[in-house]
Amino acid sequence: MIVNLSYEMWRQRLSEAVADADARRSARQFTKPRPPVPPAVHQIAQARAKTLAQSEGAALAQTARL
């Protein structure tokens, strides 16, 4: 083991060690985006009730025209 190194020699060995360590590191992991959160049950029920009310209103308006 060499203890008495010059600064230039130490700097060269350090850069070689860093290059060697970079080559051994694994690739960066990329995570998939999370899927969107589905609406809550009460939101689905409200939307369905609103759609049914609109379709019933349209049906009543159509029968009133006849």
- pLDDT tens-digit readout, 18-64: 887 777 777 778 889 999 999 999 999 998 988 888 887 766 666 66
Alpha helices in 1-66 (DSSP H): 7-24, 41-65
Tokens of 56: 């019933």
**Which pLDDT value is given to residue 19?**
80
- pLDDT tens-digit readout, 1-12: 667 888 888 888
Q: pTM of this prediction? A: 0.36
